[in-house]
Amino acid sequence: MTIDSRLHDDPLWFKDVVIYQLHVKTFFDSNDDGYGDFPGLTQKLDYIQELGVDCIWLLPFYPSPLKDDGYDISDYTAIHPLYGTMQDFRTFIKQAHKRGIRVITELVINHTSDQHKWFQEARKARKGSRKRKWYVWSDDNTKFPDARIIFLDSEKSNWTWDESAQQFYWHRFFHHQPDLNFDNPEVRKAMLRVMRFWLSIGVDGFRLDAIPYLFEREGTNCENLPETHALIKELRRELDKDYKNKLFLAEANQLPGDVIQYFGNSDECHMAYHFPLMPRIFMALHQENAHPIIDIMARTPHIPFDCQWAIFLRNHDELTLEMVTPDERDYMWKAYAAQERMRINLGIKRRLAPLVDNSMKQIELLNSILLSMPGTPIIYYGDEIGMGDNIYLGDRNSVRTPMQWSVDRNGGFSKAQFASLFAPPLMDPIWGYQALNVESQLLDKSSLLHWMKTIISLRQQHQVFGRGSFEFISSSNQKILAYIRSHEDENVLCLANLSRYPQFAELELSKFAGITPVEMFGQSAFHAITEEPYVITFGPHSFYWLLLKR
């Protein structure tokens, strides 16, 4: 199979891209029914291209009762009718590729919706029969007691009784999302078919949703089991067999030591999220101290050269605090989610801009860290304009409101009646679409959107950010985060002042003595580095990217 000639032929492409994450439902409604759709998204591809990102991660768009925003799939190989047709999807892929933008989609393999025909057949089939064994059943609800409950706010057990089956079924997430039984070879084959189906349409890769939980074994916590890794290797062999330049991204919300197992020997996933880094960036900002970031990076093992971390500030879920200590969680809740309704499960259901009280300086600082730490950055739709959230909406819908395009009705997202919209757009004086939208930020040269375009484009000009090595630089001042990225003959010194006050620091840079650092946004030369500590001053929450070239 040849790759699309408009996309450059490089198996490591995922190291160089900036990913934009979006839900088709929330982006742009082309047929005025209140839901975003693929024709609408295709119309907005120019916007995405101009932002400078070159990969789109699409949240689930398959037929679904939408009780978990589409992660509850009832048919793996079709498009939800609200979002358009298969032809619309093909057109979208073609148009994205034409612009050099790759598209990754969701492979939600751990569970289906209880409305999926596989589950409906399984619950009606005879106990112990082939069909029943597509899911995980038990006569009692005491098996696998060491498996934690993930959706603590809504579920009491990982088992739910099914009247028609007269057995309990196993689910790691909502009770309406039964887990598939991967001990059954038929299930494995079915998943390989699903994967091939979307590859043949042209998607460039898959986010493997909830990947640690595929198998259940007594006496374990049912996470990261050897059987899971064997299955991912099987999927990867299939991915590599007929296709070039495709990607697996592991969603494993685990500590780095467990996550790196998902890279295998470069024979499992190409990328994995660095979940524990994200809350520590916010912690460092609030504590005005680089320690939490330094500490988690020190605990991050090296990964194979052809693998990559995926890093992010916010996404469609809660800002997860699963991978921090109970004390750190309490700190984060107090610092960033003072009101009870800002919290869900073990996390915080707020967007980036409200988390930092709409401080432009802090949004810029956080993005400068996101775009320069080792890994491929992911930007959540709307965060490029500093969109707000609606903490009154249930589940994690607080951060899934319609994209704000203009001051027009419904924020330019849809011409439908307000009551038909999938969710209300934001309308308050600070975050509402009248005050905050793409159109006005395009007109305003000092807007966050323009700033985001500039920093993304700067990153895109230097491969060092995606591919370079990473090393902390010793700083006399704990409030200054300092690290160096190096690739071939390029070194970039990244400095971030985590404090809200001006600071100065002495940096140990003697190995670069003789070099004159050049600030990358404005091309201004700084004073030359000598054998002595390098003295540098900072404005509140300011950052520098300094090119060190001999």
| Helix axis angle, 185-201 to 86-98, nearest 10° | 60
Q: Which residue is nearest to ligand BGC (CB)?
A: 71
377, amino acid identity: P
Q: Six-digit token pair at 66?
A: 């939408």
Cβ-based nearer residue to ligand BGC, 210 or 515 = 210
State the minimum distance, in angstroms, from the CB of residue 432 to ligand BGC.
26
**In the complex, least distance from residue 52 CB atom to ligand BGC, rounded to whole angstroms:** 25
> Which of 155, 251, 318, 395 does the annotation list as catalytic?
251
Look at the alpha carbons of 26, 368, 303, 225 in this order and tell me if their dihedral is positive or negative: negative
Active-site residue flag, 328: no
The CA distance from 262 to 252, in Å, is 8
Separation CA 370–CA 381 (nearest Å): 15
Which residues in 209-331 belong to E strands, given as ranges? 247-250, 271-273, 308-312, 319-320
By CB under 6 A, is residue 155 in contact with ligand BGC? no
Q: For the segment 58-97, give every residue that binds ligand BGC (CB under 6 A).
A: 68, 71
54 vs 209, which CB is nearer to ligand BGC?
A: 209
Q: How many residues bind ligand BGC (CB under 6 A)?
A: 8
Of residues 278 through 317, those in contact with ligand BGC by CB under 6 A are: 316-317
Helix runs in 245-403, H state only = 256-259, 277-287, 291-298, 326-336, 352-355, 360-370
- Candidates 20, 57, 119, 173; binder of ligand BGC (CB under 6 A) is 173
Of residues 317 and 383, the one with the C-beta less far from ligand BGC: 317
Instruction: Return the number of the residue (88 or 317) whose C-beta is nearest ligand BGC.
Output: 317
Find out whether 134 and 189 touch, Cβ atoms under 8 Å: no
Q: Shortest approach of ligand BGC to residue 415 CB, angstroms? A: 29
Nearer to ligand BGC, 316 or 459 (CB): 316
User: What is the β-pairing status of strands 247-250 and 271-273?
Assistant: parallel
Distance CA 98, CA 95 (A): 5
Minimum CB–partner distance for residue 71 and ligand BGC (Å): 3
**Shortest Å distance, C-beta 68 to ligand BGC:** 5
Q: Pattern 189-228, binding to ligand BGC, x per CB under 6 A?
A: --------------------xx------------------
Of 37, 114, 209, 384, which residue is the catalytic one?
209
Whichever of 65 and 540 has its CB closer to ligand BGC, that residue is 65
Q: Which of residues 233-272 bind ligand BGC (CB under 6 A)?
A: 251
Beta strand extents in 80-185 (DSSP E only): 102-107, 137-138, 159-162, 167-170
In whole angstroms, how close is the CB of 65 to ligand BGC at the nearest point? Answer: 13
Three-state secondary structure call for residue 547: strand
Helices (H), 243-302: 256-259, 277-287, 291-298
**Shortest distance in whole angstroms from residue 547 CB to ligand BGC:** 37
Query: What's the full length of the chain, in residues?
Result: 550
Nearer to ligand BGC, 103 or 210 (CB): 210
Report CA 139 to chain centroid distance, whole Å: 38
- For the question of residue 209 being annotated catalytic, the response is yes
Distance CA 370, CA 531 (A): 30
**Footprint of ligand BGC on 442-501 (CB under 6 A):** none
Give catalytic residue positions: 209, 251
Interacting residue ranges for ligand BGC, rule: CB under 6 A:
68, 71, 173, 209-210, 251, 316-317
